[in-house]
Chain A
Amino acid sequence: MAAYSEKVMEHFMNPRNVGEIENADGIGEEGNPVCGDMMTFYIKVDKNERLSDVKFKTFGCGAAIAVSSMVSEMAKGKTVAEAKKITPDSVAKELGGLPKQKMHCSNLGAQALNKAIADYEARKRGEVPAHEQKSVTVDDEAEAAAGCSCPSCNHGGEEEGAPYCKPCQVVLRTCPNCKKIITQDAKTCPDCGAKL
């Protein structure tokens, strides 16, 4: 199992700001349970453009939960402009480092927060918020995964045709023979066995 820093363990065992915000000003969802990690962030923004409250719910490993907790702590009280500057790297740094294999798969908190901020800004402009257009259920995702999934992390669905899997950032391409999505460096298609 991955070796976690003390800080990661501390945030994992005692996550801050778990929950939902009713009438949130912005909601952002990142990741996918199929891939292993999924985070939902809720933000409340006051009249000074400050994040007066940040809450989250996370499905995932110890790192994913610790990342969410840390992002919520880092973002709370910051202005929208400041909060936008939180990156996966700065989160990892605050946590005293993350195991290498967790950097891409579990470190989605900053993206989820940014989506919540984008949602807030879209609402402010009067656009329909993204998360209300599409209601994601587990069944939908499982179905999507059956049709198309990242061979590296099993992430399924909306990235069909994308050059890489967003959650795990592995570069992808399509098998010329069976058209299934495979990793860029595959020498044989794991699905149809075609030589590439």
Chain B
Amino acid sequence: MSATREVYLDNASATPLDPRVFEAMLPYFQESFGNPVSFGDRGNKASDAIEEARAQVGSLINAPEREITFTSCGTESNNLAIKGLAAARRGKGKHIIISSIEHFSVLHPAHTLERLGFEITYLPVDEYGFVDPDQVKQNIRADTTLVSVMYANNEVGTIEPIKEIAAAVKGSGAVFHTDAVAAAGVMPIDVQELGIDCLSLASSQFYGPTGAGALWLRKGIQVMPLLEGGVQESDRRSGTHNVPGIVGLGKAAELAKQEMPARSKHISALRDKLMAGLKEKVEHIALTGHPAKRLPGSVSLCVNFIEGEAMLAFLENVGVAAASGSACTSKMLKSSHVLNAMGYPPEIAQGSLLFTIGVRNTEEDIKYVLEALPPIVARLRQISPLYDKFLKSRKEGK
């Protein structure tokens, strides 16, 4: 099969920029290039644009705009939340609770804090990737200052019971942060209704530009800045604003809010078709994450006996872009910590494959992938000694 179509199913890595967002950003590269904090008309124009974006982002998650801090990406938002909250609240205690399936931009700052003398509790997850709110409650101590559990997992798509976890944290004196980078702009989030304190989001997950993110922090909660030396973002995040990026984030947030029901309907219908088709057409696979409580565009699976990167390379050859959590794909040469925490043995996790559907995908795309994947799997299994062993052991009736 040769590439007769370009199918982008890696929207979790980055979504394509919405042309309307691009239009909104354009004037801020050349015409209105002013620094928002400088005196005069140019600065005022840029400053107004940033404040409009702040209102748009606030509206997306039902938060007052003044509680939104702009950052450079989701990773920065998570770093600011974890390191910044831990440092600012160290007087209360040095115990932090996070889940074991967090993104590295939460996990690695937690490791750093561990080296600095903080104590971290890593909560286990069940086979779907769910964190148990009761376990959160049981692990909270008098010196617990911060609990962080992601809104939805970027690798397996499972949506966590955030409202219940927030309720478990409430009243303990700890702050509850959620990394909503994979979910914000994709599904409705109301921070007031959830009862949380702090949330990370990034525009590249909902058709905005890369290089723009935000951290929402409930009024009255102190955070130590990572970047200092300016006056921007109420001293929570210094550094000259990325005005076009922030404008793009704001516009993308506005569009996401308006169009969310339609997008979600379209994307989740394709997701369900792809999941059903994979189950039907490829033997010996395990769909990972919760079958229903999952991100609308996320299809994740492990294909037995073969390795993820090899599948990606063959898929790319026929025009399909996807992702994998296999060791060979990651720069760290370690298989997915998420699948590991969910109880998948490493050799199964090596066969991980992740398709993330976006607004531009069509039914034709899904059909194409369902045609393209089975021969790739068959071909790699033909080379695989593990498949041989499996067939032999089945023959022997083991």
A residues apposed to B, CB below 8 Å: 1-2, 4, 9, 12-13, 15, 18, 20, 29, 33-40, 57-65, 101-102, 105-106, 137-138, 141-142, 145, 149, 152-154, 156, 168, 187-188, 190, 193
B residues apposed to A, CB below 8 Å: 111, 114-115, 119-120, 305-310, 312-314, 317, 326-329, 331, 333-335, 345-347, 350, 382-386, 388-390, 393
27 interchain pairs (CB within 8 A)? A1-B309, A1-B313, A13-B314, A15-B383, A18-B382, A18-B383, A38-B386, A57-B383, A59-B384, A59-B385, A60-B310, A61-B307, A61-B308, A61-B309, A61-B313, A65-B310, A65-B383, A101-B331, A102-B328, A105-B328, A105-B333, A145-B345, A153-B334, A188-B114, A188-B115, A193-B114, A193-B119
Contacting pair A33 B386 (CB below 8 A): yes
Contacting pair B388 A62 (CB below 8 A): no
Roughly how many angstroms separate A61 CA and B308 CA in the complex, as a whole number? 7
Contacting pair B328 A12 (CB below 8 A): no
| A18 CB, min distance to chain B CBs, angstroms | 5
Roughly how many angstroms separate A62 CA and B382 CA in the complex, as a whole number? 14
| B121 CB, min distance to chain A CBs, angstroms | 10
Chain A residue numbers with a CB within 8 Å of B310 are: 12, 60-62, 64-65
Q: A146 — nearest CB in chain B belongs to which residue? A: B345
Chain A residue numbers with a CB within 8 Å of B114 are: 188, 193
Name the one of B119, B305, B345, B390 contacting A142, with C-beta atoms under 8 angstroms. B345
Contacting pair B384 A137 (CB below 8 A): no
Chain A residue numbers with a CB within 8 Å of B306 are: 59
Roughly how many angstroms separate A156 CA and B115 CA in the complex, as a whole number? 27
A38 in contact with B385 given A1-B313, A142-B345 (CB within 8 Å):
yes
**7 extra interface residue pairs, beta carbon distance < 8 Å, beyond A57-B388, A105-B328:** A39-B385, A40-B385, A61-B308, A62-B328, A63-B328, A105-B333, A142-B346
Contacting pair B347 A1 (CB below 8 A): no
Most chain A CB within 10 A, of B120, B347, B350, B393, is at B347
Number of A-B contacts (CB under 8 A): 114
Chain A interface mostly: mixed
Chain B residue numbers with a CB within 8 Å of A37 are: 307, 328
Chain B residue numbers with a CB within 8 Å of A102 are: 328
Chain A residue numbers with a CB within 8 Å of B347 are: 33-34, 138, 141-142
| B378 CB, min distance to chain A CBs, angstroms | 13
Contacting pair A187 B333 (CB below 8 A): no
Chain A residue numbers with a CB within 8 Å of B346 are: 33-35, 142, 145, 149, 154, 156
Contacting pair A106 B389 (CB below 8 A): no
| B123 CB, min distance to chain A CBs, angstroms | 15
Chain A residue numbers with a CB within 8 Å of B393 are: 137
Contacting pair A153 B333 (CB below 8 A): yes
Contacting pair B115 A13 (CB below 8 A): no
| A16 CB, min distance to chain B CBs, angstroms | 11
Contacting pair A36 B385 (CB below 8 A): no
Name the one of A60, A106, A154 contacting B335, with C-beta atoms under 8 angstroms. A154
Chain B residue numbers with a CB within 8 Å of A29 are: 385
Contacting pair B327 A138 (CB below 8 A): no
Contacting pair A153 B345 (CB below 8 A): no
Q: B350 — nearest CB in chain A belongs to which residue? A: A36
| A19 CB, min distance to chain B CBs, angstroms | 9
Chain B residue numbers with a CB within 8 Å of A12 are: 310, 313
Contacting pair B335 A187 (CB below 8 A): no
Contacting pair A62 B327 (CB below 8 A): no
Roughly how many angstroms separate A156 CA and B350 CA in the complex, as a whole number? 14
